[in-house]
Amino acid sequence: MLRKVLLTTTMLATTASFACTVDGTKGIVEDNNLWIGTNAKSVSTIDEAQFNASIDKVMKIYEPIVAAEGKTLEVNRNWDDGTVNAYASQTGDTWFIHMFGGLARHETITSDGFELVVCHEIGHHIGGAPKKTSWMGTPRWATNEGQADYWATLKCLRKSWRGEDHAAMLATMTVPEVVVNNCNAQFSDVEDRLICQRGAMAGLSTAKLFQALRNQSTEPDFETPDSNEVSRHNHNHPATQCRLDTYYNGALCGLSEMVDVDQEDVMAGSCNRADGESLGNRPLCWFKPEAL
């Protein structure tokens, strides 16, 4: 009887599986009780039309890419739901992302920051290695949290933003000098430089969301990178500063968004210290390179 129960549980778990954690209990950030309904006063500039437009823009790029793998990418648009989170799931050959109006309405989230969250959730499906693992260490379907963060600014946002009026978008932001200088040092093309700045600032928006939801007093900052080093990959949510560092380095990596990541090879399509890269690498606060 016990064996039947275990088999049934296993079958149910594999029929519908979730991320940002494998068991679906957490989203892009840890569980929280914050609820921002449609009638709540908010300084966010994202209305329902912008919410849908941001999702549509990214889905237009990745629906055919996922379809080429024999899968279907779908989005659950929960604008009226005040949940301040987002997550991804898979049911058979259908891959879902679940987006909530509550997150879009949070005061820290800009339109670029919200688009980053859309990218992060799609990144759980196709963002490459390292993958989340089972308690036995077996890789699961979901790209881990840090890699989904990295892929969002390394690949997804670059594809989504290519050809836009970046100067107009950046005119609404105060971009730190260190970001401008590093983006200029990494890229010679003007558009690449501006996309780099936008990616960094989208990361700051999202990192400030994590700070707020975690009730932290220390703000994430481009000039105070996380100095912690892990002994093995951290597949769960990295610390707030560590996540900003990840978004920032994804934006700074000099590899083209057209160079794909790999679902098994952690080095493919990414900047790596082993290749002599000094900027654009995944931070050691969650990523453990095979060799330094």
**Distance between CA atoms of 22 and 25, rounded to whole angstroms?**
8
Cβ atoms of 203 and 175 within 8 Å: the answer is no
* Residues near 37 by beta carbon (within 8 Å), at least 6 away in sequence: 80, 82, 102
pLDDT over 70 at 4, yes or no: no
What would the pLDDT profile of 167-198 be if each residue is shown by its tens digit? 999 999 999 999 999 999 999 999 999 999 99
pLDDT over 80 at 93, yes or no: yes
**Distance between CA atoms of 207 and 56, rounded to whole angstroms?**
23
Relative to beta strand 131-133, strand 139-143 is antiparallel
pLDDT over 90 at 21, yes or no: no
Which whole number is the average pLDDT over 80-107?
A: 97
Note if the bond before 130 is cis, omega within 30 degrees: yes
Higher pLDDT, 117 or 21: 117
**Distance between CA atoms of 120 and 151, rounded to whole angstroms?**
7
**Distance between CA atoms of 125 and 289, rounded to whole angstroms?**
22
pLDDT over 80 at 251, yes or no: yes
Q: Structure pTM?
A: 0.91
pLDDT over 90 at 100, yes or no: yes
Higher pLDDT, 15 or 197: 197
Which whole number is the average pLDDT over 96-105?
A: 98
Selection from 285, 261, 233 nearest residue 125 by Cα: 261
What is the predicted pLDDT for the residue at 24? Answer: 43
Q: Is 251 exposed, middle or buried (0-12, 13-18, 19+ CB in 10 A)?
A: buried
pLDDT over 80 at 31, yes or no: yes
What would the pLDDT profile of 36-59 be if each residue is shown by its tens digit? 999 987 778 899 999 999 999 999
pLDDT over 90 at 65, yes or no: yes
What is the predicted pLDDT for the residue at 134? Answer: 79
pLDDT over 50 at 9, yes or no: no
Q: Is 74 exposed, middle or buried (0-12, 13-18, 19+ CB in 10 A)?
A: middle
Confidence of residue 18 (pLDDT cuts 50, 70, 90): low
**Distance between CA atoms of 207 and 223, rounded to whole angstroms?**
14
Mean pLDDT of all residues belonging to the chain: 91
Cβ atoms of 210 and 251 within 8 Å: the answer is no
What is the predicted pLDDT for the residue at 200? Answer: 99
Mean pLDDT lowest for which of 211-225, 239-253, 277-291?
A: 277-291
What would the pLDDT profile of 121-138 be if each residue is shown by its tens digit? 999 999 999 999 877 667
Exposure string (b/e) for 230-243, b if CB count within 10 Å is 16 or more?
Answer: eeebbbebbbbbbb
Selection from 162, 116, 151, 187 nearest residue 261 by Cα: 151
What is the predicted pLDDT for the residue at 20? Answer: 60
Residue 23, CA distances (Å) to 45, 52, 110, 142, 176 in order: 33, 27, 29, 11, 38
